[in-house]
Structure 1
Amino acid sequence: MDIFQKCYDFRDADEVKQAGLYSYFRMISSAQEPVVMMNGREVVMLGSNNYLGLTNHPEVKKAAQEAVAKYGTGCAGSRFLNGTLDIHVQLEEKLAQFMRKEAALTFSTGFQVNLGTVSCLVERGDIVYLDKLDHACIIDGARLGFGTVVKYEHNDVADLDRRLSLKDPSRGALVVVDGVFSMEGDIVNLPGLVEVCQKHGARLMVDNAHGIGVLGEHGRGTAEHFGLEDKVDLIMGTFSKSLASVGGFIAGEERVINWIKHRARSLIFSAAPPPASVAAVLKAVEIIEREPERRAKLWENTAFMKRELANLGFDTGDSQTPVIPVVVGEDRLAFFMAKRLEEEGVFVNPVISPAVPPGRALLRTSYMATHTREHLERALAAFAKVGREVGLIP
């Protein structure tokens, strides 16, 4: 058997393309703004994680440009060897201070944070507990570790409690969960999770990718939102959402971060984050701290769209964040509606199984502080038109 045979037999994407409904790897020829250019025309962007609108901010771009002028375009090695610049250390100190933790460690991508952190902490004899809707990078990190992987029902604290109660007390336990679930926009039941973890002596790690800059009085994410920052052992964050760059970090106790620093293979064997990315994040954190009005505007836009989509008759699930799903049911309908909305001048992301349960395909929409009411009303008009065309709303 040729190992490539599975590649030759793969036809799923081809069939969707032939039907004219392929909605992945679409080309954008402008910055990630509320309106983007696609194929020479303007499209309202409802598919970006640029929650605070900082990816095209003049100060962020200037910081990146100045870093390139000083340090060049790359580090030519891993953080472990020759790739640590003074601005890497400055950023880690800033992130630790911002997140109210003893120490922080940066990685080249958010995916690598979870891949390296979870796999190096969960050794033979340990158990890692995952929410069934955890992000793929958490799942892959757990698979790479040598411990046992146990999944519990989505956001079901009682199920986690039951599963932890079956654990041998001599085995170490780590619970890893998304702070905001990225497809449907619901928030983890962190108070319940903290209580159960303390009851069973389990450590808790929260992936704050979609929470930083969005949740909490100061934008520190899910733990701040619930007033539980001192109860979460490790907080992970990415730079590719509110922080306007690419990369990620893990923050926690200094001794734990030191272990990860010397054991996480995705850190040790990957090139360091490039200077431009690091400088952009430093500036983005500064803006988040000094401009809380951006977060207020983001939530104003979120409340407006959640209300108006529901008023039109759409099912927006249990979203509590600027990620608002429009549940459509069948996979093919999600592709069709995404294509029709693009034709009507609105960019959304179709999400199908296994990213969501079968029969619960959805259109993932997400919002920015920089969306104007006119942008949002244009999008609503397109949703109303397409939703009625397919019989999803009256």
Structure 2
Amino acid sequence: MNEKFQGMMQAELDRLEKEGLSLRIRTLDSEQGPACTIDGKYVVNLAANNYLGIIARKDVKEAAKKAIDEFGVGSGAVKTIIGNTRLIVEGEKKLAKFKEVEDVLMYQGGLTANSGTIPALVHDGDLIFSDELNHASIIDGCRLSKAKIIPFKHCDMASLEEKLKEHQQDPCTKLIITDGVFSMDGDIAPLPGIVELAKKYDAVTMVDDAHGEGVLGDHGRGIVNHFHLEGEVDVEIGTMSKAFGVVGGYAAGTHTLVEYLKNKSRTILFSSTITPADAGAILKVIDILTESDDLVRKLWENAVYFKAKMKAYGFDTWRSETPITPIIIGDGQLAKNLSARLFEKGVFAQSLGFPTVPKGLARIRCMLCSTHTKEQLDFAADMFHESALELGILKS
């Protein structure tokens, strides 16, 4: 064993702990829901991306079990070798109809969708114009592509146009990439402005709708539907691990795009596909959202209610426009202390600090879901207030 290497890693862990940036992965001891048992303690859950409460739905679990009974537990190989299960084929068709696009290609997850799609579309010599607050999976996909990455100021169309104009005469593919909903701040990308600039400067548009899927748009169809831009965005990336409550990702667009990715995307060519259970559950979730938007409406009702409570207590919810509700604390260690105090009182809400968020903007990120009761939200807000007073974050 290389002791020098072990010492280097330990020194970095010590630094993270000292600065309040070290991570602790807790243990979930029960089915996940608006309240659940974590590390043996029953808590109100404000940490999950389970926006619609789908994870614990009986009909979705039954669909997953039925899929296992019919197809087994695994995929066996990459889809280009063994093929897709019938459930994946049906899921791609049904999701394409739901998203109002020509075709969909399912991936193993949102990260592999981004890291597989971006390098397939652009290469060395091409240009990527990327919002400076884009998700890490987008950043990793951009780096893998070897294209030149040109960041623009967050949601700033003047900044994006300045960058596009500077490279207007460059004879290459120009790709504009943005999150749909930004996961740390909860704000929404100005997609109409991005589409307009893409047309003006002959660029390709790509949006990662991980936190917009099941949240924005009619029946949760996402940001493109939210802005009525169907047919105007070249590539949509999504994930099934948030509002859909399962695991998986996808790329959506034209038939040509999907066929191209089947042949060029390395995470399709060299990694096994989603399991039958995932595919069966996804099919059921699409049916649920297609049939009713009650869960989406309840999600937004809860988000408005909780934000109002927190603002009334004097908390800063930053620039959130969605159920993602950041509570800005500032100092990383103080945010971590608040998260720990909340857990003691029965509320699970994770602290986030640098480098996940900028220095000086450490926060507790609260994730609302449609299955939270008003009583649970009242309790959580009250515990935030009580804990913040105890730690000197708020003044009485």
* Per-residue Cα deviation, 1:253-312 (whole angstroms, up to 9, x for no partner): 111111111111011100111000011111011111112111111001000111111110
Which residue number in structure 2 is paired with residue 36 of structure 1?
Answer: 36
SS in structure 2 of the partner of residue 317 of structure 1: coil
Which residue number in structure 2 is paired with residue 164 of structure 1?
Answer: 164
Report if the CA contact (8 A) 1:21-1:336 is conserved.
no
* Per-residue Cα deviation, 1:359-383 (whole angstroms, up to 9, x for no partner): 1111111011000001101101110
Report if the CA contact (8 A) 2:20-2:336 is conserved.
no
1:271 aligns with 2:272: yes
Which residue number in structure 2 is paired with residue 53 of structure 1?
Answer: 53
The alpha-carbon distance between structure 1 residues 21 and 359, as it changes in their structure 2 partners (threshold 3 A), is closer
Report if the CA contact (8 A) 2:19-2:333 is conserved.
no
Q: CA deviation at 1:18?
A: 8.8
Which residue number in structure 2 is paired with residue 189 of structure 1?
Answer: 190
Q: CA deviation at 1:126?
A: 1.2
Report if the CA contact (8 A) 1:23-1:338 is conserved.
no
* Per-residue Cα deviation, 1:232-269 (whole angstroms, up to 9, x for no partner): 11111100011111010000011111111111101110
Alignment of structure 1 residues 82-101 onto 2, 5 Å: 82-101=82-101
- Quote the Cα distance in structure 1 between the aligned partners of 2:145 and 2:121: 8
Higher mean displacement: 175-184 or 35-44: 35-44
1:143 aligns with 2:127: no
* Per-residue Cα deviation, 1:294-351 (whole angstroms, up to 9, x for no partner): 1111001000111111110011000000100000001111111111111111111211
Which residue number in structure 2 is paired with residue 307 of structure 1?
Answer: 308
- Quote the Cα distance in structure 1 between the aligned partners of 2:248 and 2:21: 31
User: What letter is aligned with 1:161?
Assistant: E
Higher mean displacement: 12-21 or 94-103: 12-21
- Quote the Cα distance in structure 2 between the aligned partners of 1:23 and 1:387: 21
Report if the CA contact (8 A) 1:83-1:271 is conserved.
no
Which residue number in structure 2 is paired with residue 250 of structure 1?
Answer: 251
- Ranges in structure 1 where 5+ consecutive residues have no aligned partner: none
Alignment of structure 1 residues 181-260 onto 2, 5 Å: 181-260=182-261
Report if the CA contact (8 A) 1:51-1:242 is conserved.
yes
The alpha-carbon distance between structure 1 residues 316 and 20, as it changes in their structure 2 partners (threshold 3 A), is closer
TM norm structure 2: 0.95
User: What letter is aligned with 1:217?
Assistant: D
- Quote the Cα distance in structure 2 between the aligned partners of 1:375 and 1:132: 35
Report if the CA contact (8 A) 1:23-1:350 is conserved.
no
- Quote the Cα distance in structure 1 between the aligned partners of 2:150 and 2:20: 40
- Quote the Cα distance in structure 2 between the aligned partners of 1:311 and 1:206: 34
Which residue number in structure 2 is paired with residue 381 of structure 1?
Answer: 382
The alpha-carbon distance between structure 1 residues 202 and 10, as it changes in their structure 2 partners (threshold 3 A), is farther
Q: CA deviation at 1:21?
A: 9.2
Report if the CA contact (8 A) 2:71-2:276 is conserved.
yes
- Quote the Cα distance in structure 1 between the aligned partners of 2:11 and 2:365: 24
User: What letter is aligned with 1:327?
Assistant: I
- Quote the Cα distance in structure 1 between the aligned partners of 2:132 and 2:318: 17
The alpha-carbon distance between structure 1 residues 197 and 381, as it changes in their structure 2 partners (threshold 3 A), is same
TM norm structure 1: 0.96
- Ranges in structure 2 where 5+ consecutive residues have no aligned partner: none
Q: CA deviation at 1:41?
A: 2.4
Higher mean displacement: 5-14 or 353-362: 5-14
User: What letter is aligned with 1:124?
Assistant: D
Q: CA deviation at 1:16?
A: 6.5
- Quote the Cα distance in structure 2 between the aligned partners of 1:164 and 1:22: 39
Q: CA deviation at 1:138?
A: 0.5
Which residue number in structure 2 is paired with residue 26 of structure 1?
Answer: 26
User: What letter is aligned with 1:358?
Assistant: K
Report if the CA contact (8 A) 2:324-2:368 is conserved.
yes
User: What letter is aligned with 1:73?
Assistant: V
Q: CA deviation at 1:79?
A: 1.0
Alignment of structure 1 residues 279-318 onto 2, 5 Å: 279-318=280-319
Alignment of structure 1 residues 111-126 onto 2, 5 Å: 111-126=111-126
Q: CA deviation at 1:4?
A: 6.8
CA RMSD of aligned residues (A): 1.9
Q: CA deviation at 1:225?
A: 1.1
Report if the CA contact (8 A) 1:23-1:349 is conserved.
no
SS in structure 2 of the partner of residue 229 of structure 1: coil
- Quote the Cα distance in structure 2 between the aligned partners of 1:234 and 1:270: 21
Q: CA deviation at 1:223?
A: 1.2
